[in-house]
Amino acid sequence: MAYTLGIRGCQHLGYHNPRMRLHPQTRWNQRVVDGHLAHDLTMRAMLDAGVQGIIDGGDLTHRARPLPRDVELANRVDDLRARANIWGLGNSGNHCAGAGTDISAMGTMHRPDLGMHAVYPDPRRGPGDGTGPYPGLYEIHQPTDGLAIHAVSHYGLDRSLADAGIHIDPVPLPGHVNLFVCHGTFEADGRLYHCINPEGQERPIPLEWAHRGWDALLLSHYHSLGAVPGHDHDGPGQVWYTGSSLTRGFSDDLGPRGWLHVTIEDTGRVHVEARTIWQRPQHDLPVIDAAELTTEDIDQLITDRIAALELEDAESAKLTGDAGAIVRQRISGTTPGQRAALRALQPRWSRLASAAASWQIDYPHPTQAQDADSTAGRQRLITGRITDYGTEFETRSAELTRRMGIPDVIAEPVRTKALQWAKEITPTSASSSEAAITD
């Protein structure tokens, strides 16, 4: 008979959106309550699907030192699993990782007597204590005959481990169905520059690991649910991301949220299916380019867009008590005078969008030029001091990636493509073509 698992990741319990209003009952940020609800819905969906084991891919909590309300919720939801007599395994992600000598926040979920084992380094362990090969770094769990779950935590991806004589080298067990579970950035996935964040280091999962004969690689860290392009076949070597339980502001790509339903057929073949849960509607309105628009033009455009939006959602109201959607409008390339005029209009826009749970106006790529109210003015501002756009881009991008701590494995594919475009720009083409001015 088939054996089934439920795999989730990046629940980020405790994440809040500072622009969200407060939940009327608890007075907590509404996004915190959304996250708690999404975690509960995920667990119940797994149990309703009849899974026989549950894996958390990491980043259960948003902070390495979660608030008591988030730990209480995590344990209360895990009690549902325990009462159903289903085993659980929790990996450590970058948001779980404690600073200095602290332990992973996933350690709060380590409840072996209730069938829940967490993967995290613990300095209190003695020699031979814990699940190997390297407790907390790389563990192999065998919850049933013939199944091997290889879990490499965020800690296990630390390349400095080799300096201490620790070599993490996950290899499938012969004669088993082998699932590889890890929390990190998969080197072959060019989308992963989207998940850069300040919580812990970005640690890549070597592409070579994917070609070792795994029946499936089930990863967490990137917040979009589904298979990795190029590795999205249904069979050995398939690579999937669990996604997240909710969208983290507008830093995440918009898309469905949920979990992975894994079926191991009696033949040993592994089939993975993405399952979705509720999420609050979120709208990122098209960017407005202020270059050739008057304040009145922008005001009318935003007024019309708000009127056309579905600002309330019946399912969200039923589940959370707040029907409001999350909405963002960006206005690019504004001058100081434009920003001052537009900010005076923001209270009226907020009243028009009052049904939204979060309404925000952002001003990306502002300019200080006083003559930049026309496309020609903006072109003169941008192109006037640069003659070699390729060199300029290389210099600036190298400095930016250094300051942000972005690993080359993530930055290089993006930088290479952008450099190719930059080298095609000349001062003549830049000043003569409106297409050279973009967001």
How do residues 212-263 score in pLDDT, each as one tens digit? 999 999 999 999 999 999 898 888 999 999 999 999 888 888 999 999 999 9
386 vs 14: which has the higher pLDDT: 14
Lowest mean pLDDT among 118-122, 188-192, 306-310, 385-389: 385-389
Q: Is the pLDDT of residue 438 over 50?
A: no
> Which of the 8 DSSP states describes residue 106?
G
Lowest mean pLDDT among 84-88, 242-246, 265-269, 405-409: 405-409
Whether 251 contacts 197, CB under 8 Å: yes
Q: pLDDT band for position 371 (50/70/90)?
A: very low
β-pairing, 133-134 vs 138-141, is antiparallel
394 vs 223: which has the higher pLDDT: 223
Lowest mean pLDDT among 49-53, 284-288, 302-306, 383-387: 383-387
Q: How far apart are CA 90 and CA 110, in angstroms?
A: 8
- Amino acid identity for residue 262 in this structure: V
Burial class of residue 361, CB neighbours in 10 A (0-12, 13-18, 19+): middle
Whether 417 contacts 411, CB under 8 Å: no
Q: Is the pLDDT of residue 433 over 60?
A: no
Q: Report the top-level CATH class of 3-276.
A: alpha beta
Q: How far apart are CA 413 and CA 400, in angstroms?
A: 15
- Amino acid identity for residue 123 in this structure: P
Q: How far apart are CA 275 and CA 182, in angstroms?
A: 20
List beta partners, residue 362. 330
Residue 368 is predicted with a pLDDT of: 75
Closest Cα partner for 316 from 261, 366, 279, 347?
279
Residue 200 is predicted with a pLDDT of: 57
Whether 375 contacts 330, CB under 8 Å: no
Q: Is the pLDDT of residue 372 over 60?
A: no
Q: pLDDT band for position 414 (50/70/90)?
A: confident
- Tell me the CA distances in angstroms from 96 to 16, 58, 203, 304, one per residue in order: 17, 7, 14, 43
Q: At what angle do helices 30-48 and 68-83 cross, to 10 degrees?
A: 10
Question: What is the tens place of the pLDDT at every residue in 138-189?
Answer: 999 999 999 999 999 999 999 999 999 999 999 999 999 999 999 998 987 7
Strands, E, within 233-371: which ranges? 238-241, 258-264, 270-276, 282-284, 288-289, 326-332, 358-362
> Which of the 8 DSSP states describes residue 253?
P
Q: How far apart are CA 13 and CA 35, in angstroms?
A: 6
Q: pLDDT band for position 302 (50/70/90)?
A: very high
Q: Is the pLDDT of residue 119 over 80?
A: yes
Closest Cα partner for 121 from 138, 139, 135?
135
Q: Is the pLDDT of residue 377 over 50?
A: no
Residue 264 is predicted with a pLDDT of: 98
Q: Is the pLDDT of residue 109 over 50?
A: yes
> Which of the 8 DSSP states describes residue 272?
E
Q: pLDDT band for position 400 (50/70/90)?
A: low
CATH 3.60.21.10 range(s) for the chain read 3-276
Is the sign of the CA dihedral 54, 55, 59, 61 positive or negative?
positive
Q: Is the pLDDT of residue 94 over 70?
A: yes
Which residue intervals of 312-433 are DSSP H helices? 314-320, 336-352, 375-383, 389-404, 408-423, 427-432
Q: How far apart are CA 381 and CA 367, in angstroms?
A: 9
Q: Is the pLDDT of residue 85 over 90?
A: yes
Q: How many CA atoms lie within 13 A of 321 on its CB side?
A: 13
Q: pLDDT band for position 426 (50/70/90)?
A: low
Q: Report the share of the chain in percent with pLDDT over 70.
A: 81
> Which of the 8 DSSP states describes residue 413?
H
Q: Is the pLDDT of residue 416 over 70?
A: no
Q: How many CA atoms lie within 13 A of 126 on its CB side?
A: 0
Q: What's the mean pLDDT when you consider all of the chain?
A: 87
Mean local confidence (pLDDT), 346-373: 86
SS3 105: helix
Residue 398 is predicted with a pLDDT of: 58
Q: pLDDT band for position 432 (50/70/90)?
A: very low
Lowest mean pLDDT among 22-36, 190-204, 275-289: 190-204
Residue 376 is predicted with a pLDDT of: 45
Residue 294 is predicted with a pLDDT of: 94
Q: Is the pLDDT of residue 59 over 60?
A: yes
Whether 311 contacts 325, CB under 8 Å: yes
